[in-house]
Homo-oligomer: A and B are copies of this chain.
Amino acid sequence: MRQDIDRLMEERNLDAAVLSGYVQGNPNMAYMLRGADVSGGIVIKKRGETPCFLYSPIERDEARATGMTLINQAKYDYVAILRKTGDPLAARVELYRRVLAELDVQGEVGFYGMADQGASFLFLQALDQALPGVKVRGEYVNGLFDVARATKDAEEVDRIRQVGRLTGEVIAETVAFMRRHRVREETLLLDDGSPLTIGVVKNEIRRLLAERGLEDPEGVIFAIGHDGGVPHSKGNPGDPIKLGQPIVYDLFPRRHGGYFFDCTRTISLGYAAPEVRQVYQDVSDCVDAVVDAIAVGVEARILQQTACSFFEQRGYKTVASDPQAEEGYVHSISHGLGLAVHEEPHFSDVPSNTQTLQPGHVFTVEPGLYYPERGYGVRIEDVIWIDEQGVVHNLTELPRELVVEL
């Protein structure tokens, strides 16, 4: 949580942290900006002090919403610096030198935020050399802001829950939309007699999202038959919607610049083959088994072990026995959820992952079984929140039902 940042800086022996870049695709910036609708800037956080935000003057009204100490970047006249140094890299180093000197930033300083990798390499090397009083630091994993973001406060959970409610509505309305179509020879039809396709359903999903003020910047998964058997297949827009063919519908929307929700349901219109019904039941039971294993202090990697053992016991192949498996259970059980669809905590089943589950963690539980050659896959995904008292809540208010009656 935000209130942990000073403690996390102390643990890391950081005197200051500098976070910069555009907000787009940069969730640590979005976190510190608290939803302020600016395009980017530089956040400078000294340990024990209110963070400062170097903002662009053409965004001065939006910058106020950050709650940070505001510094108009025009004050440093970057263009004049650039004219003087003649080189953009030297100019940026000089800009930082002036800003850090004025704020009296010294010692161990961590640098964060998304930027081009090679450019960051050059810039941070140059800065480290140019500033004798500053030791440039980076973090490769468990970065300060990533760790702070991993535990959500009540307001953040409330926002995730709100998006969750709307996500459930969109999924239910999508099913209702499909049910409104007539059927001929196992295929859903549009009014003009042509097949209802995935592309048409995706347009409807986009409409349903927009109606609710949601966006899906990473794109919805709506994959039928074989494609549902490949976990990240987004679905082929031209494919017709047919009865008895499982559809993996994975929706991960957010409000503009805000918190994501993430929910998967697998549905089969009209009927489902006995094999698919059995697999569905086993995946649903696995969700419950994994949720039962969640408690404060449990190692995150245990959840993946729980899912693998559960499936192996029921006779399915998993990545635990074959890391290159493309049939059976072939991915991770969970990921943290917040301002990014995938964030901390991480659940890799490797010894270096010593992460334990904590109050405030919000994450998915999403087992699946995949049989592309047999023409189907099944995944069910709920979102879990561990509250301050350690009570485990399922934030997904949507029933699990494979077969949709027509």
Contact = CB atoms under 8 A, between A and B. Distances in A.
A118 B124 contact: yes
Nearest to A72: B324
Contact of A323 (B74, B257, B324, B330): B74
B116 A233 contact: no
A26 B58 CA distance: 24
A137 interface: yes
B143 A116 contact: yes
Interface residues on A, range: 35 or more
A121 to B, nearest CB: 4
Contacts of A74: 323-324
Given A61-B233, A89-B141, A232-B58, A117 B122 contact: no
A395 B115 CA distance: 30
A39 B232 contact: yes
A87 interface: yes
7 contacts: A56-B232, A58-B330, A62-B232, A116-B139, A118-B138, A121-B125, A215-B215
A102 interface: no
A129 interface: no
Contacts of A79: 323, 348-350
Contact of A230 (B21, B60, B111, B219): B60
Interface stretch (A147-155, A203-211, A281-289, A357-365): A203-211
Contacts of A331: 58
Contact of A139 (B21, B61, B118, B219): B118
A300 B122 CA distance: 26
Given A230-B61, A323-B79, A140 B119 contact: yes
A113 B331 CA distance: 25
Contact of A122 (B138, B215, B234): B138
A403 interface: no
Nearest to A348: B79
A17 B293 CA distance: 44
A82 B233 contact: no
A337 to B, nearest CB: 15
A124 B261 CA distance: 34
Contact of A120 (B28, B37, B110, B121): B121
Interface string A149-173: 0000000000000000000000000
Contacts of A207: 207, 210-211
A205 B124 CA distance: 41
A62 B230 CA distance: 10
Nearest to A208: B210
A24 interface: yes
Interface in A42-99: 56-62, 74-75, 77, 79-80, 82-83, 86-89
